[in-house]
Amino acid sequence: MSLQTPEALSLLILLAFLLLGLYPRRPKARLPHPLVPLLQQAARESRGVLPWLPPALFLLGLLLLVLAATRPLLPLPGQTSRNVVILVMDVSRSMMAADLKPSRLEAAKEAARVFLREAPRALRIGLVAFSGHAQTIHPPTTDRRRLRESLDSLEFGRSTAIGEGILEALRNIREAGGEGEILLLTDGRNRTGKDPLEAAAEASRMGVRIYAVGVGVPGWIPGPEDPVSAFGFFPGAFEVDEELLWALAEFTGGRYYLVASEKELSGLYQNLARSVRLEVMPGEAAGLLGVLGGFLALLGVALRRYLSPA
């Protein structure tokens, strides 16, 4: 908890004087009567602990009002998290390959849906797609329904620009004003655009970790019926640049994974979603404390009048 106006704590001094004035010490009787001690004892026994309740509530209410005046910042329930995760997905035509069923891209979409389902609700998640260029499909948000709709809208493109995908993700994290991580998925090599290592250097300066995921079955060769065959000759069925993806993760403090099945990919995304640690952005609690403090103070006054003899 942090206080935006800590000088308001000086009101505690006024509160102390107010309490002294409200609850003065009762003077003793000048002419003691032999029955006075007995009557006082009977009165204490008959009242029990209730007489202490009104002043206690009144005091607690005033303390909360003083605390409200300091404008404290607290991690209140329902506040948005500072954390931002950007899902960066390769949508080049090689992602049509069917070594992961029904295709690499569809397996990646299903893994992303698992991530959306398992991640903390307060986590802001964005979606960036890249082929020969990068595009923000959806900026960071907590709206899971909109993100799932954005996943369904992904379309294939030409070439592969891994560095551009990373830079677009960094732009989203910067605009979101939070602490971010990038979950990068690709099945190929960088062929155009910004050097991925230069993009990783920028991520490192921003404190953004890159978790790089390569997808594809080593040694797999597409048959005539495979969708990728319709787009001409591919130099290799398995083209994941493992050295580059490892360097991206190592340079930024993340991790590199190589995934060869749709089940393994969904399991990886599930584990990554569950490992996210949230840092909730604090919100000003002055209004909440003011309402609660005023209610308790008025309740204390009402109870005192109710319990006092007519």
Residues 183-199 pLDDT 10s = 999 998 999 999 999 99
- Three-state secondary-structure class, residue 242: helix
pLDDT range class, residue 41, cuts 50, 70, 90:
low
Instruction: Give me the sign of the Cα torsion angle 244, 86, 203, 179.
Output: negative
Residue 209 predicted with pLDDT over 90: yes
One domain for residues 108 and 186? yes
Share of the chain above pLDDT 90, in %: 48
Write the DSSP symbol of residue 282. P
Closest CA to 181 of 59, 42, 51, 81: 81
Structural domain count of the chain: 2
Name every residue whose Cβ is closer than 8 Å to that of residue 199 and which is 6 or more positions away in sequence: 162, 163, 164, 166, 167, 170
One domain for residues 134 and 185? yes
Here the CATH number for the domain that contains residue 101 is 3.40.50.410
pLDDT score recorded for residue 24? 53
Mean pLDDT of 142-153: 95
Count Cβ atoms below 10 Å from residue 219 Cβ, excluding itself: 10
Question: How far apart, in whole angstroms, are the C-alpha atoms of residue 226 and residue 97?
Answer: 7
Residue 45 predicted with pLDDT over 90: no
Name every residue whose Cβ is closer than 8 Å to that of residue 222 and which is 6 or more positions away in sequence: 97, 98, 99, 228, 229, 234, 237
Token pair for residue 22? 């409200």
One domain for residues 67 and 190? no
Count Cβ atoms below 10 Å from residue 25 Cβ, excluding itself: 6
Closest CA to 89 of 176, 175, 157: 157
Residue 176 predicted with pLDDT over 70: yes
> Residues 195-213, buried b or exposed e (16+ Cβ, 10 A)?
ebeebbebbeeeebbbbbb
One domain for residues 117 and 56? no
pLDDT score recorded for residue 227? 73
One domain for residues 189 and 88? yes
One domain for residues 156 and 215? yes
One domain for residues 97 and 241? yes
- The pLDDT tens digits for 64-92 are 777 777 776 665 555 556 689 999 999 99
The amino acid present at 293, given as its one-letter code, is G
Structural domain range at position 14: 2-75+282-307
One domain for residues 33 and 114? no
Write the DSSP symbol of residue 79. P
One domain for residues 93 and 145? yes
Closest CA to 259 of 216, 198, 308: 216
With a threshold of 0.85, does the pTM exceed it? no
Report whether the peptide linkage leading into residue 102 is cis, meaning its omega lies within 30 degrees of zero. Answer: yes
One domain for residues 70 and 142? no
One domain for residues 268 and 148? yes
Q: Where are the alpha helices (DSSP H) in 224-285?
A: 242-252, 262-274
Question: How far apart, in whole angstroms, are the C-alpha atoms of residue 202 and residue 167?
Answer: 8
pLDDT score recorded for residue 179? 84
Q: Edge-to-edge strands of the sheet including 2-3?
A: 2-3, 72-74, 283-284
Closest CA to 151 of 209, 89, 205: 89
Q: How does strand 2-3 pair with strand 134-141?
A: unpaired
One domain for residues 155 and 251? yes
Angle at 188 between CA 187 and CA 191, to 5 degrees: 150
